[in-house]
């Protein structure tokens, strides 16, 4: 039976996909597709699209600097790391529905800085409020120009109502921290000691998240950076106008950017497919341009918005996200030292014996194939029972990863399977064991650090479970009379020799 949280997630995803379908229908219902193809075929992409992409990417670097200032009282965050964290959130929104990338970003920020997840979420909330205020400012400036559509004034009033309320909540946490903590404590007293501690801790995290805005100089810098972020994002919309023969107009681009991003507040499909095209094209049409040209413009802007950040975010996930789970997965199942084993008269301390593995879920075919390749000796079959147990154990550990880490790991493995299919024109599970062993080893033990980090959680956990299995460990213990340095350094070869001797 599905849990309430799982049902809630399904509802959010369903609403997002339904909204995307509605906006896609609205954008295409009266479209002349022949005219759309003509508009796309007559675009002049260079140098306008590269200039727009450069402006958009620069905006993410500025977002990284803003993130550094927001957390600088709690942690020192390099600009490259802060920018990568920001981009991972945007890339995740391009891959997952209903803006779930915001949770991924908050989780990665908490992991990289050590701040509580509640504080990380509050920092994300502050950024979104500042983003909304900056967008409204640019929308007001853009709509002041002659020829701006009248409905933009109504949109400004609605946006001010939404972000004005959110700003009030933000300012309460920033400038009245004692009131927030006191209110949480009083509410906790009514709910019991357990809830009191939790609520006070949550209120403290919220208070700490807004501490950077209490310093007037820091607040001015953060507000200024927020405006710069959206001026650079408007640069993407402005730069691509001439590619379709449209006038290079700062006001038109600013209005298109503002209307599009305010429209994206609605939960939708991955990458905002549908809402992005609808709102961007309608903003351009409101300036007197035809629907085919407007939708062609929205399509190109969306690709320039989607592709670079998604690639950047995928690389950042491989670099930062995947390595987190390796140590945690092992530590959860490792017992405290204590048991010893006699090996050839030498007392050996067992430092990582696993508790019995009990799982009702079997590993997927991909996980089993991956573990089989990892535990293989030069492409030869590993012990079947131990491999199955190790694969089930790996499956259980990966399933218990926190959602942000699970998302990052799954994104990396999806990339690995995609490259595998391109390389061999077949799926990973369709390859022979020897081919899987060689291909997996190239990734897991190659020269590229990002690829090695991707396989750390699986390799460490698989080896731990495989070599702890009695069928694999017993032959080694029985056969070995002296523990040599070579045996300690290269246990896999020793196990292989022991297993082969037992079979012979």
Convert the pLDDT of each residue in 201-211 to its tens digit.
777 777 777 78
Residue 147 falls inside a structural domain: yes
Higher pLDDT, 185 or 166: 166
Q: Could you give the 3-state DSSP secondary structure of residue 347?
A: strand
pLDDT confidence band for 323 (50 / 70 / 90)? very low
User: Both 154 and 228 in a single domain?
Assistant: yes
pLDDT confidence band for 20 (50 / 70 / 90)? low
pLDDT score for 448: 75
Residue 67 falls inside a structural domain: yes
User: Both 335 and 317 in a single domain?
Assistant: no
User: Both 96 and 233 in a single domain?
Assistant: yes
Q: Could you say which of 272, 295, 321 is where a domain stops?
A: 321
Higher pLDDT, 271 or 433: 433
Distance in angstroms (rounded) separating the CA atoms of residues 482 and 487: 9
Residue 201 neighbours by CB under 8 Å, 6+ apart: 116, 118
Token code pair at residue 121: 């979420």
Q: Could you say which of 300, 321, 342 is where a domain stops?
A: 321
Residue 167 falls inside a structural domain: yes
pLDDT confidence band for 447 (50 / 70 / 90)? confident
Task: Work out the percent of the chain whose per-residue pLDDT is above 90.
Answer: 23
- pLDDT tens for 255-299 read 999 999 998 876 666 778 888 888 999 999 988 888 889 999 999
Q: Which helix (H) or strand (E) holds 221?
A: helix 216-239
Report H helices in 350-504: 365-375, 384-399, 403-424, 433-444, 449-468, 470-479, 485-489, 491-503
User: Both 280 and 426 in a single domain?
Assistant: no
CA pseudo-torsion sign 455, 460, 461, 463: positive
Residue 8 falls inside a structural domain: no
- pLDDT tens for 375-416 read 888 778 888 888 898 898 888 888 877 776 777 787 788 888
Query: Residues 253, 238: contact at Cβ < 8 Å?
Result: yes
pLDDT confidence band for 70 (50 / 70 / 90)? very high
User: Both 313 and 380 in a single domain?
Assistant: no
pLDDT score for 214: 85
Domain membership of residue 189 as a residue range: 46-321
Report H helices in 144-215: 151-175, 177-191, 193-209
Query: Residues 279, 263: contact at Cβ < 8 Å?
Result: yes
Token code pair at residue 156: 């400004």
User: Both 101 and 225 in a single domain?
Assistant: yes
Query: Residues 356, 423: contact at Cβ < 8 Å?
Result: no
Q: How many folded domains does the chain comprise?
A: 2
User: Both 272 and 421 in a single domain?
Assistant: no
User: Both 159 and 302 in a single domain?
Assistant: yes
pLDDT score for 13: 52
User: Both 350 and 287 in a single domain?
Assistant: no
Q: How far is CA 18 from CA 31, 269, 346, 370, in A?
A: 21, 8, 66, 36
pLDDT confidence band for 17 (50 / 70 / 90)? low
Token code pair at residue 119: 């504080």
Q: Could you say which of 321, 345, 369 is where a domain stops?
A: 321
Residue 27 falls inside a structural domain: no
Residue 133 CA to its chain's centroid (Å): 25
Answer yes or no: pTM beyond 0.85: no
Query: Residues 470, 499: contact at Cβ < 8 Å?
Result: no
- pLDDT tens for 297-322 read 999 999 999 999 989 988 887 776 44
Higher pLDDT, 408 or 38: 408
Residue 327 CA to its chain's centroid (Å): 20
pLDDT confidence band for 476 (50 / 70 / 90)? low
User: Both 248 and 353 in a single domain?
Assistant: no
State the chain's mean pLDDT as an integer: 78
Residue 24 falls inside a structural domain: no
pLDDT confidence band for 238 (50 / 70 / 90)? very high
User: Both 370 and 237 in a single domain?
Assistant: no
pLDDT score for 204: 79
Q: How far is CA 43 from CA 259, 272, 283, 423, in A?
A: 23, 23, 19, 34
Q: Burial-class residue 53 by CB neighbours within 10 Å (0-12, 13-18, 19+).
A: buried
Query: Residues 300, 41: contact at Cβ < 8 Å?
Result: no
């Amino acid at each position: 039976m599905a849990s309430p949280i799982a049902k809630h997630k399904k509802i959010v995803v369903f609403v997002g996909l339904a909204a995307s379908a509605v906006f896609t229908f609205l954008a295409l219902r009266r479209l002349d597709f022949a005219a759309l193809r003509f508009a796309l075929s007559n675009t002049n992409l260079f140098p306008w699209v590269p200039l727009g992409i450069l402006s958009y990417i620069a905006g993410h670097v500025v977002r990284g600097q803003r993130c550094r200032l927001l957390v600088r009282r709690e942690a020192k965050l390099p600009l490259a790391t802060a920018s990568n964290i920001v981009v991972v959130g945007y890339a995740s929104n391009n891959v997952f529905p209903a803006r779930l990338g915001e949770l991924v970003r908050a989780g990665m920020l908490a992991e990289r800085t050590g701040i509580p997840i509640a504080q990380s979420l509050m920092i994300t909330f502050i950024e979104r409020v500042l983003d909304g205020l900056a967008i409204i400012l640019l929308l007001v400036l853009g709509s002041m120009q002659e020829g701006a559509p009248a409905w933009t004034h109504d949109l400004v009033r609605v946006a001010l109502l939404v972000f004005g309320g959110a700003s009030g909540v933000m300012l309460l946490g920033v400038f009245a921290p004692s009131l927030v903590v006191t209110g949480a404590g009083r509410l906790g007293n009514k709910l019991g000691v357990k809830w009191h501690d939790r609520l006070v801790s949550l209120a403290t995290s919220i208070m700490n998240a807004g501490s950077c805005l209490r310093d007037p100089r820091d607040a001015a810098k953060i507000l200024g950076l927020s405006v710069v972020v959206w001026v650079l994002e408007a640069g993407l919309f402005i730069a691509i106008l001439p590619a379709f023969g449209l006038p290079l107009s700062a006001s038109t681009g600013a209005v298109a950017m503002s209307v599009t991003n305010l429209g994206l507040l609605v939960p939708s499909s991955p990458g905002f497919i549908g809402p992005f095209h609808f709102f961007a094209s309608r903003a351009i049409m409101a300036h007197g341009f035809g629907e085919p040209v407007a939708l062609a413009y929205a399509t190109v802007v969306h690709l320039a918005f989607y592709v670079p950040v998604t690639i950047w975010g995928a690389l950042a996930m491989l670099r930062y996200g995947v390595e987190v789970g390796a140590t945690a997965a092992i530590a959860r199942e490792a017992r405290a030292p204590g048991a010893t084993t006699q090996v050839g008269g030498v007392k050996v301390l067992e430092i990582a014996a696993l508790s019995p593995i009990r799982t009702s879920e079997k590993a997927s075919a991909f996980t089993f194939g991956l573990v089989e390749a990892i535990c293989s000796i030069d492409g030869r079959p590993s012990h079947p029972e131990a491999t199955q147990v190790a694969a089930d154990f790996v499956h259980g550990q990966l399933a218990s990863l926190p959602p942000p880490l699970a998302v990052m790991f799954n994104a990396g493995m999806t990339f690995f399977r995609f490259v595998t299919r391109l390389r061999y024109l077949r799926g990973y599970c369709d390859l022979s064991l020897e081919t899987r062993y060689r291909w997996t080893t190239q990734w897991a033990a190659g020269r590229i650090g990002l690829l090695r980090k991707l396989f750390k959680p699986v390799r460490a956990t698989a080896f731990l479970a495989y070599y702890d299995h009695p069928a694999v460990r017993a032959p080694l213990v029985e056969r070995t009379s002296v523990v040599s340095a070579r045996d300690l350094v290269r246990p896999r070869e020793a196990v292989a020799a022991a297993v082969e001797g037992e079979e012979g």
